[in-house]
Structure formats: C-alpha cells, structure tokens
Homo-oligomer: A and B are copies of this chain.
Amino acid sequence: MTVSIINIGDELLIGQVVNTNASTMSRLLTAAGMDVHKTMVVGDERQAIWDAVDEAMHESDAVLVTGGLGPTKDDITKKLLCEYFGSELVESSVALDNVKRIFESRGYELTPVNRAQALVPKCCEVLNNDLGTAPCMWFPGKTVLVSLPGVPFEMEWLMRNRVIPKLQETFHTEVITTKNILVQGIGESFLSDLIEPWELALPANIKLAYLPVAGMVKLRLTVHGNYDPSILKGLYDFAGQYIVGEDCETLDELVHKTLIERCKTLATAESCTGGNIARLLTAQAGASAYFKGGIIAYSNEVKESALGVKHSTLQAHGAVSEETVREMVEGVRERLGADYAIATTGIAGPTGGTPEKPVGTVWVAVCSKDETVTQLMHYGDRRQQTIDRTTNQAYSMLMKLICQKH
C-alpha cells in the first residue's frame, strides 16, 4: 500500500523549522511495511492545502496530513477537511473529554477557544490523542485520510499508537523485521568494499541499507518475511572488529543499555563536546542507575579546579593533548567515584586552531580502574559535526573497553 504525506505550516514552508515530521513519519511507515509515495509541504493557505489534499487523495491508498489543528487563527485544516468531505462540524464527546482531562491535569480553566478543539467533522472517527488537545481525525473511505497535530511528540505518539496499527488493520500489510548493526571506525565506502561478498550473497527477502551518522555507520537489514539470525555470521567474519553492537538505534542507547545490564557506573569530563555526551545518556529514562555526573571543563581553570588537571601539564602540552585528556579522564573517574569515565578535549572551531593543532583536532579518552585508552582524531572544520563525531567516538571506545575488544 502507498502513503502520501502532507505537512502544513508556514514555518515549514519558509524554512524556519526543519521538517522532522516528514522523516519521522516516513521512517515509521517504512518500518511498518508501507511505501511512502511522496511528501509535500504547503503553507497555512486554503487553496494550497486543498490542492495538495485533492492531489494526494488520487494517488495513494492513505494520506496523512499534519498541522493546522491548533486553537489559533492561522490553523485552518479542520474546517477545510470538513468542507472537502462535505461534512459538518460537531462536538465530539471523545475529543471534549480529552481536552477536559488535559486542562484539569494542568490545573487550567477551559476557555471557549480550547473547547472548540473538540469540534470535528461529523464523518470522521476521532483517534484519541493522549498527549495533547488537538484531535487526530480518521476519515474512512477508498482512500483513507488521517489528520494529525503537527507538534512532533504528539504526532509521533499518535503514529505509533493509533495511526499505524489502524492502517495495518485496514490494509493488511506484510510483516517486516528490521535489524540494526552499529559499526564505527570505518567509512561507508570502505565498509561497503569489505563486506561486499556477504552483501552480494544476501537472500532476496533481505535488503541492506547503509546509514552513516556522525562517524558511525548503522547497517540496517530490512527483512520481508522470515528472519534467520545466522545470516549475521558472515558479516562478523568480514567486519567484526568494527562492529560495536546490535539492536540499538544509536551508540548512546547501546552504552545506556550496557551499563544498566552490567551494573557499572560512568562519569564524564567534556571540553569540546560541551555536555553533549552526558545529555544524550541522561535523555534516556533510567540513566540515574549508572550516570554519576559530569564536569564540563570548558575553561582551563575548570580543568584544573574541578578535574585536577595539573597546571604544569596544561602549560607544557596545552589543553588539547594526550597528557591533558588522560588527566581529565582519570581525574573525573576518581573524583566522581565511577567505574568508567569518558573525556574529550579538542578544537571544535571555527576559530582556535594553530598549524600544529588545526581546527578539528580532538583527543578522546576512556578509562576504568585498571586501564586508560586515548585516541587522537582529526575532524574537519564543521563545529556540530566535530561534536557529534567526537561523541560517537567516545561511546565506541567505551564499549570496546567495557567488552575488552580493543
């Protein structure tokens, strides 16, 4: 079955907000075995929305529309869909109960503007939006149309819990299994050469995708029908030394799961990553089981006072050096009393580079009670990329230390 996606919003059309909704929806639909035919963005403008809806209704089995459902005046989707389907707005008790529940839980009074959110076209079915006041509306028919709020977390929750299950039920889609393998320390094209014999021998029901992200490559197997885990043996034979883990989307998720499983604790000392390593871990529920804390040692004074890096080390070797990163990682592990530690120090740029240490020079270290491992990296001059790659490098080194694979 095919799906078209329409994301509505001036903020998307003028580029003020990156349209992550389209990629989130596409990813979830693809993983559920549905083909995304096209995605479109249109502004909060009646004729453009009408045309996009009308076009999509004629080319796919289902049309998913996000945005334009809020209580403010620029949101016009609901009235337009009501007219498109020749229906009339009625108050939905399901939607009203939901609006009331949410306002009560927040201790706010229900205003007429908010009560109006419970008005929906008579011909649609309301799919309950547990996380917000905007209703999710399912318009049945030969082509199904579903209208969702544009707020990303509400949209994602509704997709996972309401829309995709109902689409699967309505359209009887095939079972698809996906399997992720996280690879780090080798570029996409070199990895592709290395595992080519294995890739060429994959059975026809398995599709392999290379997903490079910030210095890591996620290999994703998409399996239509039966999945035999022994298929992975060949992959390990060719590229085992670069494989960091399986069944996670990201390396931070892998570190999180591993530390919880092994009942070990972690501390971080971040300079150039500025807290990014810690925040990705602590964004996951349950991080307090292993994460003791971290020091963001941005200035040299803080490296000395909070981590115990020696003044003489900074003087002799500089903040971006093996000696400094070693004292940082060992200092934070001891001071915060953790089993493992991570440290980073580098020049993220765009300024601050020298001929000897150009922008993109980064030292990463991990340690346990018994062992410290350091690594020098050379990234380019793109600041966010350097932060993201350093972060993944650190997680990967930690995983190898924990699993004694280095």
Contacts and interface: CB of A to CB of B under 8 A. Distances in A.
A257 interface: no
B285 A292 contact: no
Contacts of A312: none
Q: Is the interface of A mostly helix, strand, loop or mixed?
A: mixed
Interface stretch (A87-95, A120-128, A274-282): A274-282
A14 B211 CA distance: 12
Query: What is the interface residue range for chain A against chain B?
Result: 35 or more
Counting chain B CB atoms within 10 Å of each CB, which of A15, A17, A113, A383 scores highest?
Answer: A15
Nearest to A384: B283
Interface string A112-152: 01100000000000000001000000000000000000010
A20 B22 contact: no
A202 B222 CA distance: 53
A27 interface: yes
A1 interface: no
A298 B282 CA distance: 9
Interface in A223-280: 249, 268, 270, 273-279
Contact of A288 (B25, B111, B298, B380): B298
Interface stretch (A35-43, A78-86, A163-171, A367-375): A35-43
A285 B349 contact: yes
A324 interface: no
A131 B220 contact: no
Contacts of A43: 36-37
Contacts of A17: 23, 211
B189 A111 contact: yes
A57 to B, nearest CB: 15
Given A22-B19, A209-B74, A283 B274 contact: yes
A48 B42 contact: no
A18 interface: yes
A339 interface: no
A16 B301 contact: no
12 contacts: A11-B209, A11-B220, A15-B27, A18-B19, A18-B23, A71-B192, A276-B283, A283-B387, A285-B351, A288-B299, A293-B302, A295-B296
List of 8 A-B pairs having minimum Cβ-Cβ separation, nearest first: A274-B282, A15-B26, A15-B27, A275-B275, A293-B302, A275-B278, A275-B279, A294-B296
